[in-house]
Structure 1
């Protein structure tokens, strides 16, 4: 009975947090009736997919037309996987071509992320007051993260890969590899920065199962199969698998390792992966919105990462390496030649880092109490 009331109290706190977060999201972003930052690319690509890929008649652009970008009226953003644009396209089709339509799915995922962060931290720390407290603190840290805040409010890809990768980790650490594999596939379908998560995914599967076929199926086979199935409309659009691979996957690989995302003279907008730890050159999105990072949490993440290995805890190791692997992916991209990276990429892995910092500190407290 006592545990039931403890859970009820913290569930109520979570509902209040989500309610406040939703309210602040609506009043902040719903009033901006124009493109914010890179929204010039993704809602338009989603709109064009409705016409060119799915052969539908999308609602007309009444208040907001195409932005002034080259070839924008036929652009479907082949540089990145299609899932986020599919989702945005659905909202545009039913709600019209309005900013609220292409931002609403991001708002929903931002709210859901607070729930996943809560239950992930609670699962790792345990039931009772400590587990619930870790859960609500993780949700609060995600909600207060300035990068996640800015990116969850607008129609970019970051919140999609961030949410689905966090969801995949939650299912994985709950020993539900099928659901984790499905969520991993959705993360990979959101943005290519999630591709590298195959490595920590396979590591944890190896910790819980010696079945090589099972690990290969959940860690590689199923995500690849789902990726191809979701790409079927694009395969048809491009006229075959080879043409689709050339136009999307191969093109994406070459795009990711070269400059060109922005002019190299825009030094105040460009940042390296190590700049993110000190919030150097945070990306300006417009309308007084910045993709600021949280140096305190990021530095604390560095400091607490050794705890996972000291404790020899596979769940903690997987959690911190889940985020580090994505960061390392950006480092590799930088070293291969892409020197036009942006601070808003931090959103891709930041909710996992936020959760890890909270959980690792709680586990440290638990270890100290056990030693006493």
Structure 2
């Protein structure tokens, strides 16, 4: 019997299914970008009086990026504003911001000289010479590049939105390898519900960069590209030192196969990290740069003075003691139950993605046990991609077992009837 006229071939059905999945993925990414943009366009504070400004810890990262752009790359930000001293003003200068903690003013118009060109600084003591050496410089290079194009709040946040969307795509592509397209799409959609990841994708802070490179590392590992894994690890560590946390899992995964494989990953990561830091080390001098790195590692293992609500890695699993990113509207880095679900499943599953999740999450416990008890809930942005890949894998496994159980029941019924 021939097939009905106009019935599609199986390949055509498959192609249509793939198209539907990718259209759904585009919708998920579009919804995510809408939410990220709604954060990125919030007014902020401590910038222009009565106008836009900084959100949360942007006060440290955006300003240090501007300082690095000016002092290390000899390039001023593209802005009509100048932060300068009173003796540099002219008759054409118009003061737009005065400071209580800085011996400076921000002006528009003509100036005889200036300290910094760019969007008005927050009123923080020492901010005009702050480079944020507590963290490596890679993300600040990107923010500085945006400031060189146009130094205003939305432009600082464009890379965060783009990297957030790219991270979702990487989560889908990675989850597809271990869970299939349907459950990969579900896991990616659930990631949009992660309050922390969604909010951090609209703010010019470091953690969304860290999330992207961690997701890239997982994708390259599942694709069988160890040198790419090393490069992604080095890039993650060049954003924040916590980017190196997957190293523990990679040491176990690659060390089981061959010490040479792990050595290749490690050497690629180290080389990438050094290359990313060369613009800073080249001007500071190697000895001063090493001193700054060691000082940063000491800083990261020491508790800070009281301030924003701190938390420990256990709090993150239960969404307790969440960091306030913005007030009115209230935006908290409150995370998602997926972190706990993924942790329990990874302890059971113990595959490569599970090991990388345990390694990354466990790295924060290591920092906590070494003495730093002022951790913050937005740090979960880094391992959110891993958690949602595991959730997709869990859902796929539950679905498989459900189908197998249903098939077994049907066979049993048929046997009884016969």
TM-score greater than 0.5 by the shorter chain: yes
Aligned-residue offset at 1:205 = 2.5
1:273 partnered with 2:313: yes
Picking from 291, 297, 300, the partner of 1:256 is 300
Distance 1:124-1:107 versus aligned 2 partners, 3 A rule: same
One of 287, 311, 323 as aligned partner of 1:283? 323
* 1:10 aligned counterpart, secondary structure: helix
Distance in 2 (alpha carbons) for counterparts of 1:197 and 1:302: 15
Aligned partners of 1:27 and 1:152: how far apart in 2?
10
**Structure 1 alignment gaps of length 5 or more:** 126-130, 310-316
Q: 1:88 aligns with which of 130, 138, 143?
A: 143
1:307 is displaced (CA, Å) by: 3.2
8 A contact 1:203–1:318 mirrored in 2: no
Q: Distance in 2 between matches of 1:331 and 1:144?
A: 25
Does the CA-based 8 Å contact 1:146-1:293 persist in structure 2?
A: yes
- Alignment RMSD, CA only? 1.8
The structure that is strand-richer by fraction is: 2
Note the residue ranges of structure 2 that are not aligned, 5 or more in a row: 1-10, 44-51, 82-95, 97-118, 409-418
Alignment partner for residue 231 of structure 1, among 277, 287, 290? 277
User: Relative to structure 2, which stretch is displaced further, 100-109 or 192-201?
Assistant: 192-201
The answer (yes or no) to whether the contact 2:346–2:358 under 8 Å persists in 1 is no
The one of 350, 358, 361 equivalent to 1:327 is 361
Helix, strand or coil for the counterpart of 1:284?
strand
- Which of 25, 32, 49 in structure 2 is aligned with 1:14? 25
More off after superposition, 70-79 vs 176-185: 176-185
Query: Which protein is bigger by CA-based radius of gyration?
Result: 2
Q: Does structure 1 conserve the Cα–Cα contact (< 8 Å) formed by 2:183 and 2:395?
A: no
Distance 1:221 1:197 in 2: 15
Structure 1 residue 370 displacement after superposition:
5.5
Question: Of Structure 1 and Structure 2, which has the larger fraction of its residues in helix?
Answer: 1
Q: Distance in 2 between matches of 1:61 and 1:370?
A: 66
State whether residues 323 and 350 of structure 1, in contact with CA within 8 Å, keep that contact through their aligned partners in structure 2: no
Q: How far off is 1:44 after superposition?
A: 0.5
Aligned partners of 2:376, 2:19: CA distance in 1, in Å?
40
Aligned to 1:214: 261
Residue of structure 2 equivalent to 1:73? 128
Once residues 336 and 223 of structure 1 are traced to their aligned partners in structure 2, the CA distance between those partners, rounded to angstroms, is 24
Shift in alpha-carbon separation, 1:61–1:201, aligned structure 2, 3 A: farther
The separation in 1 between residues aligned to 2:158 and 2:239, in whole angstroms, is: 16
Report if the CA contact (8 A) 2:226-2:261 is conserved: no
Q: 1:332 to 1:206 in 2, by over 3 A?
A: closer
1: CA distance, partners of 2:294 / 2:226: 29
In structure 1, the partner of 2:174 is: 120
Query: Alignment partner of 1:290: what SS?
Result: strand
Cα distance in structure 1, aligned partners of 2:348 and 2:386:
16
After TM superposition, give the deviation of residue 48 of structure 1 in Å.
0.5
Q: CA deviation at 1:364?
A: 4.1
Contact 1:304 1:361 survives alignment (8 Å): no
Aligned to 1:244: 289
Residues in 2 aligned to 1:24 and 1:286: alpha-carbon distance in whole angstroms: 14
Count the aligned residue pairs.
349
Q: Which has the higher contact order (CA 8 A, sep 6+)?
A: 1
Give the whole-Å Cα distance in 1 for the aligned partners of 2:38 and 2:310.
29
Match among 291, 294, 304 for residue 345 of structure 2: 304
Q: Secondary structure of 1:65's match? A: coil
Mapped partners of 2:270, 2:333: distance in 1: 31
Distance 1:31 1:334 in 2: 33
Query: How far apart are 1:91 and its partner, in Å?
Result: 1.0
TM-score for both structures, normalised by structure 1: 0.89
Aligned to 1:360: 394
Deviations 1:273-309 (A, max 9, x none): 1111111111011232211121x22232233223314
